[in-house]
Amino acid sequence: MTTTLSRLDCALAALPRSFPGPGGAAAVLRDGEVLARHAWGWANAERRIPFTPRSLFRMCSVTKQFTCGLVLDAFPDPTVLDADIRARLPLLEGEAPGALHLCHNQSGLRDYWAVAMLHGAPAESPFGDREAGRVIAGTRSLQFAPGTRYSYVNQNFRLLSDILEARTGRGFGELLRTRIFDRAGMGSAFLAADTRAMPDGTEGYEGTQAGGFRAAENRVLWTGDAGLGATLDDMIAWERHIDATRDDPEALYSRLSAPVTFANGAAAPYGFGLGRTTEFGRPITGHGGALRGWRSHRLYVPSERISVVVLFNHMSDANAAALDLLAATLGEERAKPAADLPVPDWLGSYIEPETGLSARADMVDGRVRLRFGHSAEKLELQPDGSAGSGRTRLRPAADGLWLDRPQENQSSRLVPCPGDAATDLSGRYRCDELEAELEVVDAGGALYGGFSGFLGQGRMEHLDPVGPDVWTLPCPRALDHTPPGDWTLVFRRDGTGRVSEVEVGCWLARRLRYERIG
């Protein structure tokens, strides 16, 4: 135990240097007992308020497991809520997702934070109940059949919390307090729906150590998707509650962490607001959270009865920090990539046929950078000529390059995009489904694009060519902490060769058709 504590002390001491920022807090528990509880820096650097284990923090998407916990507690058979979901999607054509599809991020809905950008939302614009309701109620189609794939969709959990309120006649914050927080001993946890300020003055920060930090501006109203406010001590209480009830199959966390599958029976690595993964050869459940200025991560290793919680009031990688603490607790080393492997000959630009999204692979710092999802992924080269991470694999085969995304229940052969992109694309394009527009402008020989809709007029961004009639429109900032990534624009021509429409999509919101109107 002394060796473990020594390793853990060293790992904790390294966090402020490895993940620099205004402040943070972390805890490690084993067998329900606290091995480490530490905070450093400033909850509010301008007001010189120290960051302590009792500082309130925006847990963001860690909220999702608590929303699902309320669903299971109030409605042990969540399918009784299926009709409520259909009623909140009045324009949806075809099959509607059920409550379990929402809990497992298998709904097929497009994420409303991404769709909001298509409606022209500026990054710091207000987004509350009215805006959320209009985006959700305007849904006319799904991006895949419910239960067949995985895609991270925040409003899955907002819908669930809204339905819980309507069904019980009680506010979501009250439900969290009486059904979970009080039972788990989370004395100061609360629903922090308004992201503009925390009651104790704790602030979230954007920026870097090199470029400086500034207070992040958020004007979003979160509910069941990311509204939890809690302290490190609250999260310690949650982890102790999990461990204390670990042997009860009917306990809340036992039900939340039970195995989940896709419609075809394949194991799903996400369910009930929890990710299921393996680290250091051991199964783990957990989740991260992020809003502009805030990053958090919690994980639980049932075989070792170890919990780790990391909170940053800046944008450093809380997941990586949590894994550093876990490695120290277990006495394990983080895996090192294979050295001196040749650069693969399959690097380049592709289209993934099911989603219609571009997939661009190049080399950065000795690893393959894949730009496909909502952020670039770094894949380690393998001796067999493939490259992968725990979530994604690129593998060459006799018939081409394959992209495997097992967490999404998807594997597909990528379609190469060789050749130069034509530039005769200027014009206005309209998406009838969204009642929104895209404008493409040739500004002095450079192409720019911008979205507009009922939320405003988004900024014009410089388009990046991928291949013939395939471009990307970057979205470096968005309402949510993580931008939706590059939008893929696939232009199509009529019989005369004139561009007549464009298909727009990103990993969070795919295959939306825009017709040229000018």
For residues 454 and 145, give the distance between their C-alpha atoms in angstroms, rounded to a whole number: 28
Which residue of the set 6, 55, 64, 426 is catalytic? 64
Residue 61 annotated among the catalytic residues of the structure? yes
Q: Which residue type occupies 13?
A: A
Looking at residue 82, its amino acid is: D
Q: 24 is written with which tokens?
A: 């943070």
Structure tokens at 196: 């503009």
Q: Which of 61, 161, 307, 349 is catalytic?
A: 61
Q: How far is CA 178 from the centre of its chain?
A: 28
Q: What is the three-state SS of 140-179?
A: CCCCCCCCCCCCCCCHHHHHHHHHHHHHHCCCHHHHHHHH
Catalytic-residue membership of 336:
no
Q: Taking a C-beta distance cutoff of 8 angstroms, is the pair 219, 196 a contact?
A: yes
Closest CA to 323 of 297, 303, 304: 297
Element housing 256 (H / E): helix 252-256
Q: How far apart are CA 45 and CA 11, in angstroms?
A: 24
Q: Are strands 205-208 and 357-364 parallel, antiparallel or unpaired?
A: unpaired
Q: Which two tokens stand for residue 467?
A: 């291949």
CB 400 within 8 A of CB 489: no
Residues belonging to the active site: 61, 64
